[in-house]
Structure formats: structure tokens, C-alpha cells
Structure 1
Amino acid sequence: MQGRVFSCLLLFGFHTVLSEIFDVFGPDDPITVSVGEDVVLECQVVPAISLNTLEVRWFTSDSASPVHLYTGGQDRPDVQDKDYQGRTELFKDEFPRGNASLKLKKIKVSDEGSYLCYIDSKTHHDQAVIDLNVEEFGDWPWVHVEENSKGGLCVVCQSDGWYPEPLIHWVNGKGEDVTAQSETEFIMDSTGLITVQSRINVTSDSVNKFSCFMENQFLSKIQEAHLQISDEFFPRVSAWLVSFWVFVVLVIMAIAVDVMIHRKEDKKIKALGREHWIQIDGYHKNGIELMCESNGWFPQPQISWTDGNGQNLTAPSEINYQRDSNGLVNVQSSVTVTKDATNSFKYLIQNKLLKEEQEAAIQIAGRFMIKYSFIFKINTLFTNSIKTIYTAVRT
């Protein structure tokens, strides 16, 4: 009789040990998530035994403290890594089905890496590795023109909020890849996101149109901006005169829209215009003239100009509308800004029926506004002197 009892106890213990043998599985492919989003790191125990009395530990190889720890039937935030406190959660209602997945909230750049899901029943343990990739698609590039160290012009393409470092491409007006001629700098901010600044030198014999492309390889998405410099800003004069007459031109932040939109609403045809350009058209007696042109609108769009302080400059601007052979509207608008105006200007064009708009911005370096003022005074003094001499001769 005692032998039978011993055998039953042995079989029961052996069955208990076998019932606690399990495997832990996670996804084979890395998980990709954007900064600020929430993500679930999946972890499953097979066979699906209950996790209520087991230890569930999430951790990374970079930290001595756990990302999240469940043991003794409760969470242990007191031993949790401080960087993850308040941002993790287990699905306890899924514990009876062997689901040990972890929800990680408000993703940071620093969260990128490999995570280990470790399950321990005291008699058996296993773990799975889950890889997490963090990405962020940056802002539209801001293009402007500066003087370089050699006294020439330099086109600068800048964009904030990227992760990881984007690929940079430059293409000139002939469609040639000129990336090798550029210099690119990556600056990481306190949150881990990256600001990109890429420069390319421009000479008087260069093609005067440039396109800047920034690509996030994980997302296979591209931001782009285009710039065109008027030939007037490459005068054929001696070097000392160039310092007076060359104005820095920033021409567009243009997001090229190559797709015509045709919809019917209340039997009306609507179209959102194609790419538009701001161009510094030259200098005049009253200031510097800015001109913006855009094609392919219907119905006739509304135009507005504002300066960096938000002051409306539309009233003194000139706007011309023309229809092409397809009945679409081409619009050209110009405005003259003085040396007393702010050096930042914005052009907004709106399709009211589509409730969509496009904008372009331009910034003129302050030193070139000062140069314009100085040159204008010299021209005025020279003109007055000529008039005085002419009057004296006639007398």
C-alpha cells in the first residue's frame, strides 16, 4: 500500500514538472515605431500556461534594472528602470492564456534596441528577444542662401526632427547628381532627434536651380525643396563691386505637386495648382521686388503676402491671372519690400473649394538689406552730384 502511495506521489510530481516546461516566442522581424507613439512588444508562452504565479521580467542588455518586473503576483515598480517608470504595462487579463506582451508608451529615441522577455517558473525558464527600431520623419526642408567663406554664394538646406540620420541628395537644374559637392552636418538635440544642415557652393557659371532631397530609409519617404537663383545676382563686374550688388536670394520652399486633382462637387471643377516658386526679381528704387508664380489652378485662387511679423502685404502687391488652353488659371504675383521691412516673407495661395492651400517662404539675410540701403544712398548721391554739375555747366 505504501509503495502505491509513493508511486502516485512520484507520478504527480513528474507530471507537475512536465506541465511547467514551456517555450517563449516573440516576433521574428524587428518592430518599427515613430517617436511619441505607443507600441506593444509581443511575447507568448507555449503551451499557453497561466502566468499569474510566474515571474515575468522585461529587460534590456544596456540596463541593470528591469524595464518591467512582475513577480509574486504583483508588479514591482520600485525596482524598475527610472527611464521606463509610468510608461510600461502588462496585459494581466491575458495572463491565463500565456500572453506576456509589454505595452511601451510615449516612445523615445533612447528606447531603440533589443528587449528580452524572460519567464521563470522556478523549475523552468525561457526567454525571447524582440528588436525595436525607432524612426521619425523630419519637417519640410528650409532652403536659404548665405555667403560662403570665399565671398561667394552657398545654398543651405535645413530640416529638423529626423531619426535616424536621413540620406541627403542634391540635384541641379540639368538633373545631375551634385551631392559630392555638398557638405552635410547632423546635430542631435536633447530628445535624440536630428537636425540636418547641408550646404553646396554656387558660382556664377553654375546652373542656377537646385533641388534638395532628404530620405528616411526605414519609411522609404522623402522630403524635398527646390531653389532657383536669378542671373541678376551673378553680375559680370569686378570683385569689389560684387560685394555691393550681390543680394542673397532665397527662392522657395516648394513641395512639388505633380498630380492634378479633378473632382466634381455641385457640378464645379476644381484644381490644385502645381509647384510654385518665389523669386527675388531684382532691386528697385522703392526696395527689393519678390515675385511668385504658380500654374494649374481652378477656380481662381486667393493670394496673400505677409512679413515675418504677420503683417499683411497683399494690398500693395500686384496680381495677374491668365487662363491656359485647358481653362486652368496661371497666377503671378509680385510685391516690393523696403529696407525697413522684416527680412522674412511668406506667400500663401488658396483654393477655397478644395479647402487646400500651398505656401512658400523666403528669407533675405539682414546684411543684404543693409547693403541695398548703402548702395541706394550711393546711387542717390551720385545722381544728385551729376545733376548739380550739369546745372553749373548750363549756367
Structure 2
Amino acid sequence: ALFTVEVPQPLYIVEHGSNMTMECRFPVNGSLNLGLLTVVWEQKRQGQSKSKEVYVLRNGKAFSPPQQHNDFVGRATLLHSELKLGRAILQITRVKITDAGSYLCLINYRGVDYKYITLKVKASYKTINAQVMRKPGEDKFVFKCQSEGFPLAQVFWQNEKTVDLSESADTTYTLTSDGLYNVTSILTFKPNMSDNYSCVFWNKQLNGETSA
């Protein structure tokens, strides 16, 4: 029979900062002869020509320190106890935005095959910091909403009458050292005392929203 690597789950979507595992499976047929086994996990990011080594087990031996790109040192490991079951499970801890991409799982064990797995990383805009300030010397208020997440969110503003005020808002963003978007939206308005105003951070790609 042909040696075939299989992936039970071709796509993973995980939360930034969490721990995750992804796996590919290979036929063992009896008890595993570890000395014959080579497992290579590599990551390729969109727009980058070169792959990064995530973890390499060659002829049953892992290098010490592991043979891997600096981005994954201390965070990526292979669950060795699962190999005898024909499961090459890669564990990544404290997932970063830059971990997203396409992962190659190559197995060489009495035959060679490989498969690709896609990892997407999201960071929900969980906490919105809202501030209301009066404009000095004017009969106007400044309403400011700020939050961090990934991918880039759109910010919508509305009042109780669900009038869309987004056109009047000034929304800017910066990138944090973690690769998250720090989004700030400012709305200046002349208040109608009976109105409540809300800002909504909408993450189009994840179809998720948070409001304040």
C-alpha cells in the first residue's frame, strides 16, 4: 500500500496568546521503529518565499537545542509519546499573530509523504476603553473608543435612534509589538441629552463584534 500522510483537520483558527496543537497521521503498521522516523514541520507565511523550520525529528532524534527558527524556540515541540500511534502532533504555546500561515508536515517512515495545514490567528476586540470628554470652551463632547485585536476592525458609531454616525468619526490605528491593531475612534458631537451613543468594533473576517 502507498505510504500516505493524513490530516484530520486542515484548518485551525486559534486565539492569540493561547496554546494549540495540530496533527498529521501516518501508518505505523505494528510497533514503531523510531530510528527510521523523520518528522519535519515547517511554516510558510503569505508573501514570504522562505519557509521556517518549526520542529525537526531526524531518524528518531531531536536536536538539542531543537532545530528550529528563532520565532519558535521555547514554544514549539513535538509530542513524542504520540508517535508510536502514528500521530505527529505539533504543540505551539503562546500563539503569536506571526504564527499564522501554512504548515508543512512531512513524514519519512518506510515511505515519504506530506500534507499542508492552515493556521489562522485571531485576537478578539474583547475590551473597549471608552471615554467621554467635554471640549474646552465649546458646547461639544468628545467620545473616544479604543481597543486592540486582529485582524483590523471597522468601528461604527450610532445613537439610540440607530442613526449611523460613523461618517463623522475619526478612526486611526497603530500596530503593537505583538502585531495587534490598536484602534482608536473619536466622535465629536453636540449632545442631545436623552441620547445614548455606542461604538461597535466589527471584525469582518471573524464576523465578531464588541460594543461600548
Q: Same fold (TM over 0.5)?
A: yes
1:197 aligned residue? 184
C-alpha distance in structure 2 between counterparts of 1:170 and 1:207, whole Å:
16
Find the partner of 2:24 among 43, 47, 69.
Answer: 43
- The correspondence of residues 85-96 of structure 1 with structure 2, limited to 5 A, is 85-96=73-84
Q: How large is the RMSD of aligned CA atoms in angstroms? A: 2.8
Alignment of structure 1 residues 115-194 onto 2, 5 Å: 115-121=103-109, 124-138=111-125, 139-145=127-133, 147=135, 153-159=141-147, 161-194=148-181
Question: By how many angstroms is 1:87 displaced?
Answer: 1.2
Distance 1:129 1:168 in 2: 35
* Conservation of the 8 A alpha-carbon contact between 1:27 and 1:130: no
Counterpart Cα distance in 2 of 1:206 and 1:155:
14
- Summarize the Cα distance change of 1:43–1:175 in structure 2 as closer, same or farther, 3 Å threshold: same
Distance 2:13 2:168 in 1: 33
1:57 and 2:40 matched: yes
CA drift of 1:215 comes to 3.2
- Equivalent residue letter for 2:15: S
Q: Which runs of 4+ in 1 moved over 6 A?
A: 204-207
State how far apart, in whole Å, the 2-side matches of 1:156 and 1:59 are: 43
Note if contact 1:51-1:98 (Cα within 8 Å) is conserved in structure 2.
no
1:165 offset after TM fit, Å? 1.7
User: Aligned partners of 1:158 and 1:96: how far apart in 2?
Assistant: 49
Name 1:98's counterpart in structure 2.
Answer: 86
Structure 2 counterpart of 1:22: 3
CA offsets, 1:33-88, max 9 Å, x none? Answer: 1122110112111x344472221000012454410000022112453111111112
Counterparts of 1:194 and 1:115, CA distance in 2: 24
Select the structure that is richer in helix.
1
Unaligned runs of 5+ in 2: none
1:173 aligned partner, one-letter code: E
Does residue 210 of structure 1 match 2:191?
Answer: no
Residue in 2 that maps onto 1:114: 102
Taking structure 1 as the reference length, the TM-score comes to 0.46
Amino acid at match of 1:98: G
Query: Aligned partners of 1:131, 1:146: CA distance in 2, in Å?
Result: 48
Q: In structure 2, do the counterparts of structure 1 residues 26 and 33 end up closer, same or farther at CA, with 3 Å as the change threshold?
A: same
Selected match of 2:211 from 198, 218, 224: 224
Hey, what's the Cα distance between the residues in 1 that align with 2:69 and 2:95?
15
Letter aligned with residue 73 of structure 1? G
CA distance in 2, matches of 1:58, 1:210: 49
Structure 1 gaps, min length 5: 1-17, 226-395
Equivalent positions of 1:263-302 (< 5 A) are none
Q: Percent identity over the alignment?
A: 27
SS at match of 1:156: strand
1:147 Cα shift?
4.0
In the superposition, the TM-score normalised over structure 2's length comes to 0.81
8 Å contact 1:65–1:79 — kept in the other structure? no
Would the aligned equivalents of 1:66 and 1:79 in 2 still touch at CA under 8 Å? Answer: yes
One-letter amino acid matched to 2:160: G
Q: Considering fraction of residues, name the structure with more strand.
A: 2
Deviates more, 1:196-205 or 1:169-178: 196-205
3-state secondary structure, aligned to 2:87: coil
Separation in structure 1 between the aligned mates of residue 175 and residue 66 of structure 2, nearest angstrom: 32
Cα offset, 1:181, TM superposition: 2.6
Q: Count matched residues.
A: 202
2:77 maps to amino acid = E
Check 1:54–1:200 CA distance in 2 against 1; reply closer, same or farther (3 A cut): same
Q: Structure 1, residues 233-255: CA drift from partner, whole Å, max 9, x if none?
A: xxxxxxxxxxxxxxxxxxxxxxx
Question: Partner of 1:83 in structure 2?
Answer: 71
